[in-house]
Amino acid sequence: DTAVSQTPKYLVTQMGNDKSIKCEQNLGHDTMYWYKQDSKKFLKIMFSYNNKELIINETVPNRFSPKSPDKAHLNLHINSLELGDSAVYFCASSPPGQGPEKLFFGSGTQLSVL
């Protein structure tokens, strides 16, 4: 029973293509996130959604567009892929609360842009 699942695990594609990564959580959490982990292992938040509404949108190229059809799903669509987009992308969720909560991460999607 995977708590946070994302697909695909690996994504290899050519520059200029458009691709999507899907994420689903069955924990009943209200908040979901997309993180990017680069080759230096820094985790950087890209987006955060609470109950389908965007609450954090860091400085991310507008080629990246998150979509949350319901609070259990947060998908990431990337247009016109560039070499610098190669990284591991993690979806995560956290339970509702007034303060900081621990994150539950998906297994990651390793994106390689050729």
Q: Which stretches of the chain bind other proteins, using CB under 8 A?
A: 40-45, 56, 90, 99-100, 102-108
For residue 95, say if its preceding peptide bond is cis, omega within 30 degrees of 0: no
Closer to other proteins by CB, 78 or 92: give it.
92
Residue with tokens 């997309």: 34
| Least spacing, CB of residue 30 vs other proteins, in Å | 14
| Least spacing, CB of residue 20 vs other proteins, in Å | 19
| Least spacing, CB of residue 44 vs other proteins, in Å | 7
